Chain A
Amino acid sequence: MEYFIQQLANGLTLGSIYGLVAIGYTMVYGIIGMINFAHGDIFMLGGFAALIVFLILTTFFAGIPVALALLLMLIIAMLMTGLWNWTIERIAYRPLRGSFRLAPLITAIGMSIVLSNFIQVTQGPRNKPIPPLVTDVYHIGNITISLKQILIVVITSILLFAFWYIVNKTPLGRAQRATEQDRKMAALLGVDVDRTISITFIMGAALAAVAGTMYLMYYGVASFNDGFIPGVKAFTAAVLGGIGSLPGAVLGGLLIGLIESLWSAYFSIAYKDVATFAILAIVLIFKPTGILGRPEVEKV
């Protein structure tokens, strides 16, 4: 039982990270109907920005409090990836809006290749380890929970609440939902569609940067090809939850995290990704639009 709870805690931590990345996928998909393949690499970029900020901080301000360092890392990583995603949207996706469906998908895959290879070329192909940031652990019975796990879950919850608030209660969120439902009609009613889409990309990137920073904090290592596997899993999470649905993305992320840690704990660690993908396929066979997805209504 204790072992089970331990694995549950690990799964929730991992699931929070996937959930944050999945929101970026699902938002972009909801608003312009495109799989943003470069989103996983934006997540990787966020991790790298945090890593570099961390290195600079530890050189110039050796005794900086960990909380402040973490906050600075998060903020700079969010700004950085926001700017990158904004630029990518302007250059690679906006000119192709209204073109046929596969065109932005191909530029997104192209951008994903560009981003990971850009980091490989500029920062080198080796893994980049950093010393552990947060080392405190708590023992409850035989269960060990580390402070970083708590931090990850707490930060994720705060961000999710903030995000839910923005989407549901602010004029910006209303513009986003309007654009999602009917872009042309929203434009006619005075919503600045281009600006709304840009902001959506920036928001998604900022969440991915938070996830990237926490991934770096959790594993203590960054690499140029870190974007692919977590990216695919986050996308899987978004689809599992029902793509286009925000609660679905979080739910999907948590499910994927739990499946992964429980499968590694009870069955085999080598086949954890196989289990994740197999469960995705099985769920989609019985519910073709994901767990919380709205069924598509076809009008002829």
Chain B
Amino acid sequence: MANGYQNVQEDVMAKAVKEGAVAGIIAFLMFLVFVGIETYQDINNQLVWRTRWGLLGVFVIVAAVGRFVTVGFIKPHLDKRKLAKAKTGILEVSEEKSFFHKHFLKIALVFLLCYPFLAMMIFGRQGSLKYVDNFGIQILIYVMLAWGLNIVVGLAGLLDLGYVAFYAVGAYSYALLSANFGFSFWLLLPMAGILAGFWGIILGFPVLRLRGDYLAIVTLAFGEIIRLVLINWTDVTRGTFGISGIAKASFFGIWSFDVGAANNFNKAWGLPSSSVYYKIFLFYVILALCMLTAYVTIRLRRMPIGRAWEALREDEIACRSLGINTVATKLTAFATGAMFGGFAGSFFAARQGFVSPESFVFLESAIILAIVVLGGMGSLTGIAIAAVVMVGGTELLREMEFLKHIFGPDFTPELYRMLLFGLAMVIVMLFKPRGFVGTREPTAFLRTRKAVSGSFTKEGHG
């Protein structure tokens, strides 16, 4: 018995060594050209090359050792744990939830409400600027966008790869209308939402008959069309130069945040002049907008239209057989999702003070969609967590100055931001294909509401 066990162990080790060697060879071949050789322009602007065997060696060793450890240690360990769990016959589902788990939403909300002041207390007035703006506002914009897209993708099951188009419509409606007509933020915020929703209907009409991946490519095409028009229609949009000097949002028209204005907020309240108060104000505005999105989504899910969306996602044919108007259902999903994109866009323009087509590339759509799917489609909490992890994580990379001490002064962590973002997308999907929150709260239930596994919900066919 003991001998047999040893044999198995030796087999595992032999296999691990073999697999590690194979991984090393494959990595060597893969990276030989792209890592082993570096191309660059010399002084005469001629393209020349030099070798980088050291770096190539690092890549190969990492691949070989990584594979060896995975096959030799991690996989047997996981198998053993699974076996042990299966033997006891006890499922690892505890009915008792921890205090933190039970009150997660309340704790998160209280934390968010205190967040700007906590940041100011800890990092000082100027130091907190970064935390309120780069982390707080940035993440909340993505949370709002992802919640908006969630209505289209997560609830109605329509795959939309061009969501950024509505974000762009919102941003440019605010930028253009405030620059040309001088309307205020509070007037233009709903208007931008309505305009974006209107565009959602316009773009939704032709694609109603399309399903699945055809829908995906047409929405992607619309996103690109909007961006190309923004670039090329220079008379109105000033093309790639973008529109700068966009008016700031005011405190509901009572106090202004412009430094020169008579009713300046900081002066009125006797505060030292600093842009941090404007950022804190913006933080609460976007927080309120997010809460509005969540509230509308939750309420709509219980209304007939929300149920129709989810029914459409589960089975379109059954939906039609039951007399649900699929045209109206799809269009409202498109329009509602687009409207929130428009809100987020006009907020983005007000916060940034500058918009250019560069901000509305396909990559943004991909990031938003990734957040929705990584969070677990349809789950608002999961999506918010995904946004914090993905956007916050990549923002954090900007702050890693200490890495310069390890890798030398030439090392720029920003360069690796998107690379790591892409890797994180792949890795999270591989380990949690159903997203961070794998359970769903059903809207319709018999007597008691029980959470169901995410794998029981369909993702729709477009």
Contact = CB atoms under 8 A, between A and B. Distances in A.
A102 B373 contact: yes
Interface stretch (B13-21, B251-259, B421-429, B444-452): B421-429
B294 to A, nearest CB: 22
Given A48-B34, A122-B38, A114 B434 contact: no
B30 A87 contact: yes
Given A29-B213, A100-B433, A103-B433, A281 B47 contact: no
A103 B37 contact: no
A276 to B, nearest CB: 8
B225 interface: yes
Interface string B197-220: 000000000110111011011101
A232 B227 CA distance: 14
B351 to A, nearest CB: 25
Interface in B294-340: 317
Contacts of B94: none
A121 B419 CA distance: 9
A280 B218 contact: yes
B224 interface: yes
Nearest to A242: B214
Identify the interface centre among B153, B224, B419, B422: most chain A CB within 10 Å of its CB: B422
Interface of B is mostly: helix
Contacts of A123: 34, 38-39
A277 B225 contact: yes
A285 B215 CA distance: 11
Contacts of A129: 47
A128 B38 CA distance: 12
B115 interface: no
B433 A277 contact: no
A126 interface: yes
A164 interface: no
A38 to B, nearest CB: 10
Given A117-B418, A232-B220, A296-B211, A107 B37 contact: no
Given A51-B39, A123-B38, A130-B47, A113 B224 contact: no
A117 B207 CA distance: 33
Contact of A277 (B35, B216, B221): B221
Interface string A263-281: 0000000110110011011
B225 A274 contact: yes
Interface string A282-300: 0011001110000010101
Among all A-B residue pairs, the 10 with the closest Cβ atoms: A110-B425, A113-B422, A277-B221, A114-B422, A117-B419, A110-B426, A270-B232, A99-B433, A103-B433, A110-B422
